[in-house]
Amino acid sequence: MTTAKIAVFAGAAVVVAGGLVLAIRMNPSTSIKDGHGTIGAAPAPVEAVRQAGQLDQVNPFTHVASIPAIVDPATIRFEKLRMVELASKTKTTTDPQNCKDQQFRDPGGTNFCQTTTVLERVKALEATYSFNGPVIASGESVPGRDSFSVYFRPEEVGVDGPVGKLKRDQAASFFQVSTFRPMVEQKVIDKQHSQFCEGNYVDGNWVRKDATCQDQVQYINQTVPSQYLTVQVDLRHSTIASK
């Protein structure tokens, strides 16, 4: 390359460098923080997220309940009918700082970082039933009676006058009870394809005859009767349906 060409290239380089310096001086510097703001919106403050919370609409009117399958359905008895207020809209908020504080105070414990607040309530008629305790293996019943409740809209039942003035048999006449035992899918041991080691109980402990033997247990999904009875409480007549 000739001396003249070298001089030309050197001069061009100086001009380009000078232009870059001038451009940098004319434009303000951009910090790392500004760069983050340009790429995306800044995240909402933790306090704002906590206050926003999660809103949930709740349907409190349930006409079914579950009781142990070993309960005798014939022992189900109506107890009372009363007016109550139930949550229909709730707000659940999470406080991250509270989570950190609880984890610091009790690292191995359960953290309750959420708080649920009831925002709206609705009136409901609560029908309460009781039943005898479950029948145990010996054929005897567990002493005492347990209870469950179901809930209806007041306009569904259409009670004339105050609910508290109704006699028990009058209130019970509004409803009819039915029970059924649903089928559920459950994982059970596949006895046909499982192998178990031989052994005997020694002082209450299972001891294998061959200490090196290992049980080979296989499982299958099987449809079996549920461990609970479903109790369905229906209105003998629906005021809404008749209108």
| pLDDT tens per residue, range 107-130 | 655 556 778 899 999 999 999 999
Mean pLDDT, rounded, for 24-28? 43
pLDDT at 138: 60
> For the chain, how many helices (H) and strands (E)?
7, 11
Mean pLDDT, rounded, for 219-228? 93
Amino acid making up residue 90: T
Residue 145 lies in a domain: yes
86 in Cβ contact with 151 (< 8 Å): yes
| pLDDT tens per residue, range 165-196 | 899 999 999 999 999 999 999 898 999 999 99
pLDDT at 111: 55
Q: What is the mean pLDDT of the chain?
A: 77
Residue 163 lies in a domain: yes
Residue 17 lies in a domain: no
Looking at the 3D structure of the chain, how many domains does it have?
1
Residue 191 lies in a domain: no
| pLDDT tens per residue, range 76-105 | 999 999 999 999 999 988 877 777 776 666
Q: Name 205's bridge partners.
A: 202
pLDDT at 15: 41
Residue 36 pLDDT > 50, yes or no? no
| pLDDT tens per residue, range 7-25 | 444 444 444 444 434 443 4
Residue 52 lies in a domain: yes
Instruction: Mark out the alpha helices in the chain (DSSP H runs).
Output: 3-26, 32-39, 46-52, 96-105, 154-157, 168-172, 239-242
**Structural domain that includes position 154:** 46-181+226-242
